[in-house]
Structure 1
Amino acid sequence: MSNCAQRLLDLLVAHGIETVFGIPGVHTVELYRGLPDSGLKHVTPRHEQGAGFMADGYARATGKPAACFIISGPGMTNIATAMGQALADSVPMLVISSVNRRDTLGRGQGRLHELPDQQRTLSGVSVFSHTLQTPEALPEVLGRAFAVFKSARPGPVHIEIPLDVMPQACPALVPKVTEVFPPTAPDAALAWAADWLADAERPLVLLGGGCAAAGDAVRTLVERLDAPAMTTINAKGVLGCDHPLDLGACASLPAGRELARHADVVLALGTELGETDYDLTFDGGFHLEGRLIRVDIDAQQLARNQAADLALLADVGEVALGLLERLPHQASREGAARVADTRAALALRDADDVAPYADFLDTLREALPDATIVGDSTGPVYAGNFIAEMPAPRRWFNAATGYGTLGYGLPAALGAALGVPERPVIALVGDGGLMFTLAEIATAREAGVPLAIVIWNNAGYGEIRRYMDAQDVPRLGVDLAAPDFVTLARSMDCHGVRVSTRAALHQALQASRQAQGPTLIDVEADRWSA
């Protein structure tokens, strides 16, 4: 008879999990007994935080969750940062961990990896955290997790298995996978929303990450309304490249706010209307004076940040299709002209904090036009959040919004590359942020992934330096000594090259697709900017 740990593998496969990120330890070794024969792909990061970021990038690129196998205690506190980022950005992630024996929990006996209350510690960075008491409860608990992933606002789910439960004999568990559907808006609410939108003279659409899985329907709705559309970072690409109604992420800028203020009806689809997308100046200046229709899969989110006049608890794609049925005729509201006027007023490519990176970002897109670009918190990423255009959703994401952690870019890009191996992936990182998870270069090499790791090397924390200067704060802790990244890459049996021109960067990016592993491209920021 198989044990609990082996039955877990069967259930993960039944629920569609394909990849597991984990570092084996004495407390999780039982999970690895049946792993070679399970059909699951296992990737070993060099740090548990890297495991979480890889699962995050995998999910954002594919729309499907991955699992993490993590040891109790330090393994869980290590992955907590990655879980916090995933929770902030509504990214599905299944974290399976060990925990000490049931009879020892909470007793403070100084056992290996002991936390006073591991489940309680992790509940703050997860949709829910559960301690498995018996093997027979596995199908129910996993069913809850996948119900969250499929029909509610997703995020990390943590399931911990006590050391005395993991090896328990367990009969065959029927891997019943329930088809779960998100809530649907009532016909009356859809009719009400459609009436408001039909009567609007100056409508505006706000697109959030909840639109990523419904790009075609959302794009058609925006065109049917002939309405300008602002996108959050996680909605970039929903309208495709160069769409005449796409304003991009401009809600924090004066011209964008002016347009929003004068909209008579605002349709917010799958966006939390949060600070890092709508108030990057931190002055509370994003105001909506027209009627607000909000659509979200999370009932609580419908009441946060901006009070709605009409709130629909429903899947964005279903609402978009429902509105299209009720708005059969193409409106004519000069939407493209309004967008063009706002873009001219924004003049984003000429802005002081964007212009230095415009040619650099153009080069990335020209060299690898179909690439997914995964970023850390660094100057080119901040600029790209404003001006980068993507041909489809899930091609541009980063940790510069929401939880805002450093070290995300490299491991998340590796997760994306493993999830969509047919597509080029660029990790766009700064030299400071890369040092947080530098060891994951070895993981990428081991996986044989042709990942382009592009470092904007400005010798430290350049964005914080700039902020210190603006606030008249002495520079301290921001000028950092970095290793020779090219030599470091070669020591890990990876290709490394240093560049400072568009031609050299273009060539290195194209060559990276032919490599048998990652290519590290060190961009000398001071020479590029000169």
Structure 2
Amino acid sequence: MNLRESIKHFDERNVSASSQQATSSHRTCGEALVTLLEQYGVQFVFGIPGVHTVELYRGLAHSSIRHVTPRHEQGAGFMADGYARVTGKPGVCFIITGPGMTNIATAMAQAYADSIPMLVISSVNARSQLGGGDGRLHELPSQRDVFNGLTAFSHTLLDAADLPQVLARAFAVFESARPRPVHIEIPLDVIVSPASAMKAAPSMRPARPAAHPAALASAVELLADARRPLILAGGGAAHAAVELRELAERLQAPVALTTNAKGLLPSGAPLLIGSTQSLPQTRAMIREADVVLAVGTELGETDYDVLFDGGFTIAGQLIRIDIDAQQLMRNVHPDVAIPGDSRDALSALSARLHERPVRPASPDWGAARVAAVRDAIMASCDAAMRSQKRLIDTIVGALPGVVIAGDSTSPVYAGNFLHDAPAPRSWFNSSTGYGTLGYGLPAAIGAKLAASERPVVCLIGDGGIQFTLPELASAVEARVSVIVLLWNNFGYGEIRKYMAQRNISPVGVDIYTPDFAVLAKGFGCETARVDNPQALDAELRRAAKREIPTVIEVREADWFARVQS
């Protein structure tokens, strides 16, 4: 029996009886799933069809949902992540049993670490085969157990009738709790089981939890009397830009933003400190604050201690707002804890402060102090960071409204410190949280699908792009005109420097670097190479007019030589 015959025999043995039953009922669980996803407003599904998931595609082919095929399931997850970061809606993936799921695990972990909504729907072996250890195709001892630690929850659908309820639970997490990946696995026999009587409409979604009046009252007392108030905002406040800015201006409170919160105060806002909580100048200012309001932020290492020196401290009284009550008790314990939605809580605080006298901020605080801190930080930056900031400034200047999806690479690290995004959901990358490589390219594809009218730039290094380089083919196939700005330092440059700083002889970092222009052209992309801001500006403007991806290579040594001279 050849391979084609073996697959045919596998399909017939596992699904023929159930398919005959489903045909008589006219709709399967797999088809009902697609209908429900449409009702929830899902526009895209990312996945690679396999023999274990083809029955999901029976309904997808005739739906309004567009399918995008990555070249690796990790790419599917990163695409879903990029889509979610731009829209705030969950990215959805269809993934095969076993290797498909272990391939997407890294992307799920990055989304989990950064609180990104993602719905991963996978197949799994038939109910009678679960946990059998018989060596079935794609079999894991317990697929759900593998993914429990990477998700808000992982559920095995044992009865098609339960599908609406399980999807309702997933969307409740995405919209009313701390958003994180959800995994729903459907056994092969359940995918094809009849579902003609299933309710094909989404359940009513719960509202986000509101802040408790007593906690708000305690916070108002502290903020109204503060002479040096300061706000730390994270990605959990991404939907609360208006409310955050109103409160900051009312209190004349300087604002520091995490990487995922960039844009909550626009570039040039007088009270915007930036994202420099790991630098001495900003840390000193935070220590001087008598009341700190932390909203939607973990207060975690990758935003507040990226230099790993343990130097971040809060000396004043701390108010924390977070939709995750457990997170309020992690890292830094608050004097006032407010579990609830950040937008609701910020709006309520502003309203209450409007009704009572607020003590004026200290004369040496507010915008004047922010300006001094920002000037001191720029003065302390070395030439490399300044030239990398020039790279990012060139992108923003050439492409109004640009979304920049970054990887773990040197210009992204500089941008995390020095770039101020003009709007929320315009700058994100994988160098915080889980900190993976290869994220930038597929995430940028997902972002472009989410915002087709906006230019999208992938900012990635030569090491990182080799993790997911084949996704260029996915972008060409899907006609996604993403711009890939490839920072080439011929190896793992940041790790090379890290080893040198510790007197470790570099090993494993000087990797072979291919000719990216040749590879990109082979995938069907346009290419260019630039070494100065003027040339980059021109190439970016040309790339924005194309309907296919463009790879623009910038060699680090050449850029530094031209920009620093």
**TM-score, reference length from structure 1:** 0.98
1:14–1:177 CA contact under 8 A, matched in 2 = no
Are 1:367 and 2:364 matched, yes or no? no
Q: Which residue of 1 aligns with 2:44?
A: 19
Q: 348-357 or 370-379, which moves further after superposition?
A: 348-357
Q: Is residue 166 from structure 1 mapped to residue 191 from structure 2 by the alignment?
A: yes
What's the CA shift string for 1:404-453, capped at 9, x where partnerless? Answer: 00000000000000001011000000000000000000001111111110
* Residue aligned with 2:468, SS: coil
Alpha carbons 1:15, 1:177 under 8 Å: kept: no
Give the Cα–Cα distance (whole angstroms) in 1 for the partners of residues 326 and 217 of structure 2.
23
Percent of aligned positions that are identical: 56
Aligned mates of 2:494, 2:383 — CA distance in 1:
13
Match of 1:506 in 2: 537
Which stretches of structure 1, 4 residues or longer, exceed 6 Å deviation after superposition?
Answer: none
Tell me what 2:269 maps to. Answer: 243
Q: Using the alignment, how far apart are the partners of 2:202 and 2:31 within structure 1?
A: 17
Partner in structure 2 of residue 474 of structure 1: 505
The range that moved more, 511-520 or 168-177, is 168-177
Partner-residue secondary structure (3-state), 2:434: coil
Cα contact 1:228–1:335 (8 A) shared by 2? yes
Cα distance in 1, alignment partners of residues 232 and 127 from structure 2? 48
Listed one character per residue, the Cα deviations across residues 357-401 of structure 1 (whole Å, up to 9, x for unaligned) are 122122111111310000000000000001112111000000000
Q: Does 1:393 align with 2:444?
A: no
Counterpart of 1:185? 211
- Preserved contact between residue 384 and residue 560 of structure 2 (Cα < 8 Å): no
**Among 362, 374, 377, which residue is 1:346 paired with?**
377
Q: Which residues of structure 1 form unaligned runs of 5+?
A: none
User: Could you tell me whether the CA contact under 8 Å between 2:229 and 2:361 is conserved in 1?
Assistant: no
Partners of 1:514 and 1:459 in 2: CA distance = 29
SS of 2:112's equivalent? helix
- Which residue of the partner structure matches residue 80 of structure 2? 55
Structure 1, 492-501 or 290-299: larger mean CA deviation: 492-501
Alpha-carbon separation, structure 1, partners of 2:457 and 2:361: 39
- Residue 298 of structure 2 aligns with an amino acid whose one-letter code is E
Q: Of the candidates 126, 132, 153, which is equivalent to residue 128 of structure 1?
A: 153
1:274 corresponds in structure 2 to: 300
CA contact (8 A) 2:32 2:59 kept: no
One of 90, 101, 117 as aligned partner of 1:76: 101
Q: CA deviation at 1:348?
A: 6.0
Amino acid at match of 2:176: S
Deviates further, 501-510 or 2-11: 501-510
CA deviation profile, 1:85-131 (whole Å, cap 9, x unmatched): 00000000000000001111111111110111100001111111000
Tell me the secondary structure at the aligned position of residue 508 of structure 1.
helix
The 8 Å contact of residues 228 and 361 in structure 2, kept in 1 or not, is answered as no
2:342 to 281, 295, 316: 316
Give 1:173 deviation, angstroms: 2.0
**Which protein is bigger by CA-based radius of gyration?**
2
The match for 1:34 is 59
Q: Distance in 2 between matches of 1:117 and 1:142?
A: 21
1:46-89: per-residue Cα shift (whole Å, max 9, x none)?
A: 00000000000000011111210000000000000000000000
TM-score (norm 2): 0.92
Matching of residue 410 in structure 1 with residue 441 in structure 2: yes
Q: What is the match of residue 464 of structure 1?
A: 495
Contact persistence 1:59–1:91 (CA under 8 A): yes
CA contact (8 A) 2:153 2:182 kept: yes
Deviation at 1:261, TM superposition (A): 1.1
Hey, what's the Cα distance between the residues in 2 that align with 1:350 and 1:397?
A: 22
* Distance in 2 of aligned mates of 1:237 and 1:31: 38
Change (3 A) 1:348 1:55: farther
AA of the residue aligned to 1:363:
T
Deviation per residue, 1:467-491 (Å, 9 max, x gap): 1111111111111222211111111
Q: How many residues are treated as equivalent by the alignment? A: 530
CA shift for structure 1 position 353: 5.5
1:108 aligns with 2:162: no
Separation (CA, whole Å) in 1 of partners of 2:43 and 2:49: 18
2:481 to 440, 450, 459: 450
Q: What's the CA shift string for 1:222-267, capped at 9, x where partnerless?
A: 1111011111000000001111111111111111111111111000
Equivalence for 2:528: 497
Name structure 2 gaps, 5 residues minimum: 1-25
Q: How far apart, in 2, do the equivalents of 1:367 and 1:471 lie? A: 39
Please state if 1:227 is matched with 2:253.
yes
Compare 163-172 and 151-160 and name the one that shifted more: 163-172
SS at 2:42 equivalent: coil
Q: Which residue of 1 aligns with 2:142?
A: 117
Verify the 8 A CA contact 2:276 2:418 in the aligned structure 1: no
Q: CA RMSD in A?
A: 1.2
- Name the counterpart of 1:527: 558
Partner SS state of residue 165, structure 1: helix
CA contact (8 A) 1:268 1:294 kept: yes
Letter of the aligned partner of 1:450 in structure 2?
S
Please report how far the alpha carbon of residue 327 of structure 1 lies from its aligned counterpart in structure 2 after TM superposition.
1.4
